[in-house]
């Protein structure tokens, strides 16, 4: 159906369409600026506790002096490149070859490795070097990133920027100034705000991610405004079609 508009309305419609189209360009992120004022809240000088092993954690354990000892000879089926996983049970113990069950919950990764080294050294091995990894720690990233989802914390002190990179970076709709990290008890969570527009934010130790963190990247104001304008535009277009149809019907009935 061809829309018919009175001549005196055409300039107004042209200006409206120009305004709507001008809001559609992509948001360009300006990250890590050096010429911005410091955040209102000072960065806390806080050292966050190292993660402690808990029941349900999944561990990879191998002896770097002889990786076949734990990975192959005692399991029969695994190879040196297929290190078996060991789960921490509800009672806080883990079952290891020769040693049997040992209490490990409540220890840091380094403390647990040292304990296992001493036990193997006193029971069987000469100067073992135990490598221990916790392989089930993860964070969830949602919102305006290229790939949302759950991501494993595969290294110590993975920070927010590392994780955003893992997720493919921010989208054009992202608000880089108010990225949220939701941490702690789900019933009473702590919300940490990160401004990636300011390079000084990188010094904040709170941006080192912890197991269970939820990262949320919201839309920027321009995107929210554009989507609101698109909704209004859709309503206006529908109203104009209805009005034009009514005018056509009215004109035809008058003939």
Tell me which of 82 and 168 has the higher pLDDT: 168
Residues of the chain with CATH 3.10.560.10: 138-219
pLDDT confidence bin for 223, thresholds 50/70/90: low
Lowest mean pLDDT among 163-177, 200-214, 216-230: 216-230
User: What distance in Å separates the CA atoms of residue 206 and residue 196, rounded to the nearest whole number?
Assistant: 13
CA 141 to each of CA 9, 23, 150, 223: distance values in angstroms, whole numbers, following the listed order: 48, 28, 6, 20
The superfamily (CATH) of domain 138-219 is: Outer membrane lipoprotein wza domain like (3.10.560.10)
Q: Are strands 100-103 and 149-152 parallel, antiparallel or unpaired?
A: unpaired
Q: ∠ CA 53-54-55 to the nearest 5 degrees? A: 135
pLDDT confidence bin for 41, thresholds 50/70/90: very low
User: What distance in Å separates the CA atoms of residue 196 and residue 146, rounded to the nearest whole number?
Assistant: 17
Tell me which of 24 and 150 has the higher pLDDT: 150
User: What distance in Å separates the CA atoms of residue 39 and residue 218, rounded to the nearest whole number?
Assistant: 19
Phi/psi of residue 206, nearest 5 degrees: -65, -20
The CATH number that domain 58-134 falls under is 3.30.1950.10
Q: ∠ CA 85-88-91 to the nearest 5 degrees? A: 155
Tell me which of 8 and 163 has the higher pLDDT: 163
Q: What is the pLDDT of residue 13?
A: 47
Structure tokens at 242: 């209805």
Q: What is the pLDDT of residue 114?
A: 96
**pLDDT for 49-68, tens place per residue?**
789 999 999 999 998 987 56
pLDDT confidence bin for 246, thresholds 50/70/90: confident
**pLDDT for 189-202, tens place per residue?**
999 999 999 999 98
Q: What is the pLDDT of residue 221?
A: 84
pLDDT confidence bin for 42, thresholds 50/70/90: very low
How many Cα atoms occupy the beta-carbon half-sphere of 9 within 13 Å?
Answer: 6
Residues of the chain with CATH 3.30.1950.10: 58-134
**pLDDT for 134-154, tens place per residue?**
999 999 999 999 999 999 998
- How far the first Cα of the chain sits from its last, in Å, is 20
User: What distance in Å separates the CA atoms of residue 108 and residue 90, rounded to the nearest whole number?
Assistant: 17
Entry pTM: 0.69
pLDDT confidence bin for 19, thresholds 50/70/90: very low
Q: What is the pLDDT of residue 224?
A: 58
CB atoms < 10 A from the CB of 32, how many? 15
User: What distance in Å separates the CA atoms of residue 150 and residue 109, rounded to the nearest whole number?
Assistant: 22
Mean pLDDT confidence for 1-26: 48
């Amino acid at each position: 159906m061809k829309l018919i508009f009175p001549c005196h309305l055409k300039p107004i419609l042209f200006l409206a369409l120009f305004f709507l189209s001008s809001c559609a360009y992509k948001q360009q992120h300006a990250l890590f600026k050096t010429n911005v004022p410091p955040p209102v809240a000072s960065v806390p000088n806080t050292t966050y506790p190292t993660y402690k092993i808990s029941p349900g954690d999944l561990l990879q354990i191998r002896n770097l002096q002889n990786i076949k000892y734990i990975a192959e000879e005692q399991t029969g089926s695994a190879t040196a490149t297929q290190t078996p996983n060991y789960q921490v049970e509800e009672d806080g113990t883990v079952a290891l070859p020769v040693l049997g069950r040992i209490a490990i919950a409540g220890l840091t990764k380094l403390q647990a490795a040292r304990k296992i080294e001493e036990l193997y050294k006193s029971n069987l091995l000469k100067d073992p070097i135990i490598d221990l990894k916790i392989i089930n720690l993860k964070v969830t990233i949602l919102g305006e990133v290229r790939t949302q989802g759950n991501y494993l914390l595969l290294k110590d002190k993975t920070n927010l920027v590392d994780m955003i990179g893992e997720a493919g970076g921010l989208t054009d709709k992202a608000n880089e100034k108010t990225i949220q990290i939701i941490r702690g008890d789900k019933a009473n969570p702590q919300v940490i705000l990160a401004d990636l527009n300011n390079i000084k934010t990188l010094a904040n130790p709170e941006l080192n991610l912890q197991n269970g963190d939820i990262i949320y990247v919201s839309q920027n104001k321009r995107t929210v405004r554009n989507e609101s304008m698109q909704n209004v535009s859709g309503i206006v277009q529908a109203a104009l079609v209805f009005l034009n149809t009514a005018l056509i019907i009215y004109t035809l009935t008058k003939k």
